Structure 1
């Protein structure tokens, strides 16, 4: 079985990182079958006092802001044949590495896997924003059908990463999509790993959903400008509630009529916020927000 390198960027998120490392220490494969490389993106290289690293873990300091710069720095020190990308707020399930490696062995024609990201509520039940995030956020089944996957749960053969090249470090968002598009353009195949699972807390507030939405918008804006593509706001997309979103909500099992209405209204608020941000980006010439 190939050796794995787990790549985790972190920025001022040590408590969550400690939980992520605890999950990795509980993997079903032995610790000598994988290493953990943390890309420390904090302004200072020092770890918090008393922060304990597993024996198979190393930290690489990358002061250049941005999670993709931190990932690149970590990959540069990685020795594994397979790269397992995740985030400090993710909780890899005990068989995450074993299932990912086994799937690549079973599918030699595949060199990328987008694994399932299982969202969970922070409390006893789902808040409305959490429910929205569960339905619309981090849908790796949909992403992989379009040729990409989020780095919260992305598995890549190291040889492919060397071939495609590093993440675009100027991006604060959508760098994973941009990298995967380059890989697809070179003939790389991606597969959805429904049993290769990490858990991730759902966003619990409108502010958190809005922050993510605007960050992704900033990344898309940067990419289109870099590629010389025109940026033309489509007014109906932003100024009117989305019929396609309503249709999807009506098809979602287990939702009450009231939940459908409230989720649809929440989506409309997010679209209005996105439209205001897009106008601001157009006026300012484009500036991305940090993740």
Structure 2
């Protein structure tokens, strides 16, 4: 592998050859299988939310937060579907993971790769078919999803996870014991980490998503206290860039896809943990390429 050449190739808007993509995916799986369900990360590091296939906006994110390897990153959010360049987004993230290893983290997201109709609706399968002429590229990429770690923890005090908390998980050690080399189940603690959302309530409530739970201020406060955390950092929900919740601000949602679905008009953000774990938020708007794209063929209210 010539990772630098491949990175330049993808940044220039080209695709890897099919056999190159397969080699890359197999190599990244070898790296990921050695990582913990709660991967430790040292500050300084920059945390990012959902990207959703918006490749040009991802390039602007790197301009805003700093280019790798000068800046370390954790990407908590969905990489593919809805945007028109999911393949490019995922490929560049895998290339950076292969190149930087521990300095670049891409925890598990809520992608349900097993449901064919889901992926037809939201785009990644069709995009791979269109750009490679077959489903092999889609299969190589989605196989990697089963190896992604479940979360990351920054300096032992900030837990980064895609969705949220679970009534079956009280300690971080319980997350470490989950078997993750599989498709995301439809219920249980693994599912909850990917699908749950915070809500202005005290404890737990049924989620309208049909997976995961709604969890409130007391749940979050108790989880942070038990695990000696300052913050739960997550993605998964569209917000205007960044949103703290609860009285003690013990949880924050980071969203990194500006003008989501090319029609929502939102700003995006990244959250940096710098010296002494001080926090620095950087906001950015969509690129001109994003602004010129049309929205999806049909309204997709799912994440909205």
Fold similarity call, TM over 0.5? no
TM-score by length of 1: 0.28
TM-score by length of 2: 0.27
Q: Which has the higher helix share?
A: 1
Q: Based on CA coordinates, which of the two structures has the bigger radius of gyration? A: 1
